[in-house]
Structure 1
Amino acid sequence: MKSPTTTITAACLLRRLFLLLLLGAPLLAVALAPQPAGGESPRDTAPVAVLTIADAIGPASADYIQRGLAQAHAQGAQLAVLQLDTPGGLDTAMRQIIKDILASPIPVATFVYPSGARAASAGTYILYASHIAAMAPGTNLGAATPVAIGGPGGPPDRPGEREEPGDEERRNGEQREELPGDAMTRKQVEDAVAYIRGLAQMRGRNAEWAERAVREAVSLPADEAAEMNVVDLVANDLRDLLAKIDGRTITLPQPYGEVTLATAGAALLPIEPDWRNRFLATITNPGVAYILMLLGIYGLLLEFYNPGFLLPGVTGAISLLLALYAFHLLPVSYVGAGLILLGIAFMAAELMVPSFGILGIGGVVAFVIGSVMLMDTSVPGFALPWSLIIGVTIATVIFLLLVVGMALKARKRPVVAGSEEMTGAVGEALVDFDQEGLGWIRVHSESWRAKSPQPIKKGQKVTVIGVRGLELDVKAV
Structure 2
Amino acid sequence: MKTFRLSLYTLFIFTSIFMLLLPPQAESGGEGKLVYYVPVEQAVERGLLAFMERSFEQAAEEGADHIVLEVDTPGGFVDAAGRIASLMNNTDIPITAFVVNEALSAGAYISLMADNIVMMPGTDMGSAAVVDGSGNAADTKSQSVWLARMQDAAEKNDRDPQFALAMADPGINLPEYRAGEGELLTFNAREAFEENYAEAIASNREELLEYLGLENAIEREMEVSFAEQIARFVTHPIIIPILLSIGSLGLVLELYSPGFGIPGFMGLGALFLFFFGHMVAGFAGWEAFILFGAGVVLLVIEILVPGFGIFGALGIGAIIASLVLGSADTMTVLTSIMIATVVAITAMILLFKYVGFKGPMKRFVLSESTNTEEGYVSSETRKDLVGTLGEALTVLRPSGTALIDNERLDVVSEGGYIEQGRKVKVISTSGSRIVVREMDDDLADDGS
Coarse TM-score class (shorter-chain normalised): 0.5 to 0.7
Distance apart, 1:82 and its partner CA: 0.8
Unaligned runs of 5+ in 1: 1-30, 32-36, 156-183, 247-262, 354-400, 416-422, 426-477
Partner of 1:234: 201
Match of 1:85, SS? Answer: strand
Q: Deviations over 1:223-276 (max 9, x none)?
A: 111111122221111110111122xxxxxxxxxxxxxxxx12212111112243
| 2:245/2:344 contact within 8 Å kept | no
| 1:46/1:76 contact within 8 Å kept | no
| 1:84/1:119 contact within 8 Å kept | yes
- Residues in 1 aligned to 2:149 and 2:71: alpha-carbon distance in whole angstroms: 20
Distance apart, 1:284 and its partner CA: 2.1
Distance apart, 1:208 and its partner CA: 1.5
- Residues in 2 aligned to 1:333 and 1:273: alpha-carbon distance in whole angstroms: 25
AA partner of residue 240 (structure 2) = A
Partner of 2:425: none
Given the alignment, which residue of 107, 112, 116 partners 1:128? 112
- Residues in 2 aligned to 1:304 and 1:71: alpha-carbon distance in whole angstroms: 47
Q: Deviations over 1:411-466 (max 9, x none)?
A: 89999xxxxxxx959xxxxxxxxxxxxxxxxxxxxxxxxxxxxxxxxxxxxxxxxx
Q: What does residue range 23-422 of structure 1 map to in structure 2 within 5 Å? A: 38-40=25-27, 45-113=32-100, 117-148=101-132, 185-216=139-170, 217-246=184-213, 263-285=214-236, 288-306=239-257, 309=260, 313=264, 316-317=267-268, 319-320=270-271, 322-323=273-274, 328-329=327-328, 332=332, 334-335=334-335, 337-352=337-352, 407=359
Give the alignment's TM-score, normalised by structure 2. Answer: 0.56
Distance change in 2, residues 1:285/1:201 (3 Å): closer
Match of 2:84, SS? Answer: helix
Partner of 2:180: none
Distance change in 2, residues 1:150/1:414 (3 Å): closer
Match of 1:146, SS? Answer: coil
Instruction: Count how many residue pairs are aligned between Structure 1 and Structure 2.
Output: 290
- Residues in 1 aligned to 2:247 and 2:201: alpha-carbon distance in whole angstroms: 49
AA partner of residue 345 (structure 1) = I
Distance change in 2, residues 1:227/1:240 (3 Å): same
AA partner of residue 345 (structure 2) = A
Partner of 2:445: none
- Residues in 1 aligned to 2:145 and 2:192: alpha-carbon distance in whole angstroms: 23
- Residues in 2 aligned to 1:206 and 1:136: alpha-carbon distance in whole angstroms: 21
195-204 or 320-329, which deviates more: 320-329
Distance apart, 1:203 and its partner CA: 1.6
Q: Deviations over 1:253-307 (max 9, x none)?
A: xxxxxxxxxx122121111122432231232245653443233213322443457
- Residues in 1 aligned to 2:361 and 2:73: alpha-carbon distance in whole angstroms: 51
Distance apart, 1:134 and its partner CA: 1.1
Distance apart, 1:309 and its partner CA: 3.2
- Residues in 2 aligned to 1:82 and 1:142: alpha-carbon distance in whole angstroms: 17
| 1:149/1:185 contact within 8 Å kept | no
Q: Deviations over 1:163-221 (max 9, x none)?
A: xxxxxxxxxxxxxxxxxxxxx72211111111111122222122111111111221111
- Residues in 1 aligned to 2:69 and 2:336: alpha-carbon distance in whole angstroms: 36
Larger radius of gyration: 2
- Residues in 2 aligned to 1:185 and 1:109: alpha-carbon distance in whole angstroms: 32
- Residues in 2 aligned to 1:44 and 1:189: alpha-carbon distance in whole angstroms: 45
Unaligned runs of 5+ in 2: 1-18, 171-183, 279-322, 369-373, 377-448
- Residues in 2 aligned to 1:341 and 1:150: alpha-carbon distance in whole angstroms: 20
| 1:131/1:203 contact within 8 Å kept | yes
- Residues in 2 aligned to 1:132 and 1:42: alpha-carbon distance in whole angstroms: 18
AA partner of residue 72 (structure 2) = D
Q: Deviations over 1:107-131 (max 9, x none)?
A: 1111001xxx110000111111001
Match of 1:332, SS? Answer: helix
| 2:252/2:347 contact within 8 Å kept | no
- Residues in 2 aligned to 1:292 and 1:424: alpha-carbon distance in whole angstroms: 49
Give the alignment's TM-score, normalised by structure 1. Answer: 0.53
Match of 2:260, SS? Answer: coil
Partner of 2:397: none
